[in-house]
Structure 1
Amino acid sequence: MSIQKIARLAGVSVATVSRVLNNSDSVKEKNRTKVLQAISESNYQPNLLARQLRTARSSMILVMVSDISNPFCAEVVKGIEEQAEQNGYRILLCNSGSDIERSRSSLQLLAGKMVDGIITMDAFSKLPELTQLIGVTPWVQCAEYADAGDISCVGISDIEASQQVVRYLAGKGHRRIALINHDLSYKYARLRQQGYLQQLQSSQLEWQAVTYASELSFSAGKRAMATLLAGEQRPDAVFAVSDTLAAGAMSAIFQRGLRVPQDIAVAGFDGSELAEMVSPPLTTIAQPSRDIGRKAFTLLLQKIDKPQSPAERIMMDWQLVVRASA
């Protein structure tokens, strides 16, 4: 269905239909109603390329995530998409794996003006390279961020959240609290480990053990927990930097014939649905994942509308959700 046919159905000019599609205030309400009714009855879909030529915008954004299988990333993307759709935008999703070559391929969309901006969730260590590739395109970074600079970002205070977990476990009487961490090229991994170590010191706990999962997966969490259990002294509590790793850790504990939380308490991070699905349910730091996504898109739209606006650094609230695992 073309714009000309819509005009004929509504009994108005093509120019009137065009003004309605572009939300112009100059259209009489009677004519606007006719056009909208014709569009509804004919299931008309605007030609996006034609709109791009008229407005110099594509109404598309690129979202690059490090791992879409990570429940946290998936929830953030849902929030981005919800807010984007409310503002007439669509998203293109790239599962980059924080691989710079894969990122480079996706970022070719910027050169062709196929997207108006970009939201990334890539490893902090990749940000300098991404900065060169992205250039002046409006850009917002989720979760991973620089402490200063020209990139707007949204996240939480990973140090304080991790301190709260360790403080809670210590308050429950645990004295051998271990950490299952991820790749330290991610800033969140470094900050959560920093919070863990700082709180051990504040709680006057000398025992510490850190093991690193190769990826944010159930099986990697299981392997990391097996490493801890093979140590000279068994931990009496484990803090994992994601709910998925924590679920894997619980599986390894059960396989050794041990109980959660009686023998080893377990706490996670993210507040994903998985935390409520495992048995016993998982104590975790609940991040406002969808709200982070919504705020990221709002910041990006501000940058698209006002490219010279200053960068903003938004730190959002989190909550320690206590359940039976700890």
Structure 2
Amino acid sequence: MSIEKVAHLAGVSKATVSRVLNHNPGVRPDTRAKVLAAIDICDYQPNLLARQLRTAQSHMLLVLIPDITNPFCSRVVQGIEAEAEAQGYHILLCNSGSQLRREAAYIALLTGKVVDGVITMDAAACLQELKELIGDAPWVQCAEYDPSIAASSVAIDNKEAAFETVCYLASKGRRRIALVNCDMRYLYSHQREEGYRNALEKLDLNWGSVAYAENVSCDAGSAALRELLMLPERPDAVFAVSDVLAVGVIHAALEAGLRVPEDLAVVGFDGINFTSSLNPPLTTIEQPMNRMGARSVQLLLNRIRQPNSPVVHEVLPWKRVERASS
């Protein structure tokens, strides 16, 4: 269905229909409503290529994520998509598995103006290679970032959160606090471990141990706890760097006949929804996942609209949600 048909049905000019499609604020609400109703009736789909040629913008944003099955990534993407739609944009999602070859094919869309900018959630260890591909295109680093790269970022203070978590467990009388960590390509893994070790030193806790899970999965979290339980002196608390790993820790603890939290306190990280339904419900460090995604879009659009705008490294607040597992 053509734009002419929509204009005729709504009783307005083609220019007015175009202004509505391009989210121009100078259209009266009643006129906008008539045009939108006509679009619904006609099932009109705007010619994105033609719009791209006219405006040099596609109103598409590329989002590179390492693993869509990770609940943290999924929640952040929800925030990205909602904010993008509110701003008149759509997203193109690349579930990259941190494979540079796959990402390169998507990033090539930047040069063809199929997408206007990119949001990455890749491991910090991969970002220098991505920088070579992205070049000077608008870019925001979400959750993971390399501070040496001239691209804005949105994250939380992982070191502070980990430090305060160990202090919290110590305040509960725990003296043998272990850490279940994961992929050290990620900045958050380094920062959370650094916060953990700083807290042990600050509190003068002489017992400490780190188990490294093979991946972010329940099975890997269970295997990490089994490793810790083989130590001459087992932990009385575990801080896991993700809720998914923490779930595995609880499963393995219960299988070993341990009571949670009486014998082993467990704290996770992220604030994934299902953690409140566990038995026992999981204490966790809640990240503002949707907000993180939304701010990434806002910073990216600011860069697209104002190419000379300064780089911003935004740190969002986190909070501890205390439940029965600790």
- Classify 1:30/1:277 alpha carbon distance in 2 versus 1 (closer, same or farther; 3 Å): closer
Secondary structure at 2:323 match in 1: coil
Aligned to 1:157: 157
Aligned to 1:40: 40
Aligned length: 326
Which residues in structure 2 correspond to 1:217-232 (within 5 Å)? 217-232=217-232
Secondary structure at 1:168 match in 2: helix
Between the aligned partners of 2:195 and 2:163, the Cα distance in structure 1 is 5
Alignment deviations for residues 10-64 of structure 1 (CA, whole Å, 9 cap, x no partner): 3444344334433557768886565444223323221211211121111110111
Between the aligned partners of 1:27 and 1:325, the Cα distance in structure 2 is 54
Q: Which moved more, 1:93-102 or 1:12-21?
A: 12-21
Instruction: Establish whether residue 199 from structure 1 lines up as the match of residue 193 from structure 2.
Output: no
Q: Which moved more, 1:105-114 or 1:123-132?
A: 105-114
Structure 1 residues without counterparts, runs of 5 or longer: none
Which residues in structure 2 correspond to 1:44-123 (within 5 Å)? 44-123=44-123
Between the aligned partners of 1:288 and 1:29, the Cα distance in structure 2 is 34
8 Å contact from structure 2 (residues 51, 58) kept in 1: yes
Which residues in structure 2 correspond to 1:1-326 (within 5 Å)? 1-24=1-24, 34-326=34-326
Secondary structure at 1:119 match in 2: strand
- Classify 1:261/1:40 alpha carbon distance in 2 versus 1 (closer, same or farther; 3 Å): same
8 Å contact from structure 2 (residues 269, 284) kept in 1: yes
Q: Report the Cα offset of residue 250 of structure 1.
A: 0.6
8 Å contact from structure 1 (residues 280, 325) kept in 2: yes
Q: Report the Cα offset of residue 325 of structure 1.
A: 0.4
Secondary structure at 1:309 match in 2: coil
Q: Which moved more, 1:287-296 or 1:30-39?
A: 30-39
- Classify 1:324/1:20 alpha carbon distance in 2 versus 1 (closer, same or farther; 3 Å): closer
- Length-normalised TM-score, structure 2: 0.95
Between the aligned partners of 1:321 and 1:258, the Cα distance in structure 2 is 23
Letter in 1 for 2:260: V
Q: Report the Cα offset of residue 184 of structure 1.
A: 1.1
- Length-normalised TM-score, structure 1: 0.95
- Classify 1:213/1:10 alpha carbon distance in 2 versus 1 (closer, same or farther; 3 Å): same
Alignment deviations for residues 214-243 of structure 1 (CA, whole Å, 9 cap, x no partner): 111111111111111112211000000000
- Classify 1:203/1:50 alpha carbon distance in 2 versus 1 (closer, same or farther; 3 Å): same
Q: Report the Cα offset of residue 102 of structure 1.
A: 2.1
- Classify 1:224/1:25 alpha carbon distance in 2 versus 1 (closer, same or farther; 3 Å): closer
8 Å contact from structure 1 (residues 119, 296) kept in 2: yes
Alignment deviations for residues 95-140 of structure 1 (CA, whole Å, 9 cap, x no partner): 1122222222221222221110100000101111111110111000
Secondary structure at 1:145 match in 2: coil
Secondary structure at 2:192 match in 1: helix
- Classify 1:68/1:19 alpha carbon distance in 2 versus 1 (closer, same or farther; 3 Å): closer
8 Å contact from structure 2 (residues 62, 119) kept in 1: yes
8 Å contact from structure 1 (residues 59, 88) kept in 2: yes
8 Å contact from structure 1 (residues 178, 209) kept in 2: yes
- Classify 1:164/1:42 alpha carbon distance in 2 versus 1 (closer, same or farther; 3 Å): same
- Classify 1:9/1:233 alpha carbon distance in 2 versus 1 (closer, same or farther; 3 Å): same
Q: What is the percentage of aligned positions where both structures have the same residue?
A: 53
8 Å contact from structure 2 (residues 23, 88) kept in 1: no
Letter in 2 for 1:10: A
Between the aligned partners of 1:159 and 1:198, the Cα distance in structure 2 is 9
Q: Report the Cα offset of residue 274 of structure 1.
A: 2.6
Between the aligned partners of 1:34 and 1:261, the Cα distance in structure 2 is 60
- Classify 1:249/1:44 alpha carbon distance in 2 versus 1 (closer, same or farther; 3 Å): same
Between the aligned partners of 2:240 and 2:209, the Cα distance in structure 1 is 12
Q: Which moved more, 1:6-15 or 1:172-181?
A: 6-15
Between the aligned partners of 1:193 and 1:278, the Cα distance in structure 2 is 25
- Classify 1:277/1:28 alpha carbon distance in 2 versus 1 (closer, same or farther; 3 Å): closer
Q: Report the Cα offset of residue 147 of structure 1.
A: 3.1
Letter in 1 for 2:120: T
Alignment deviations for residues 148-171 of structure 1 (CA, whole Å, 9 cap, x no partner): 441100010000000111000011
Q: Report the Cα offset of residue 266 of structure 1.
A: 0.5
How well do the aligned residues superpose, as a CA RMSD in angstroms? Answer: 1.8
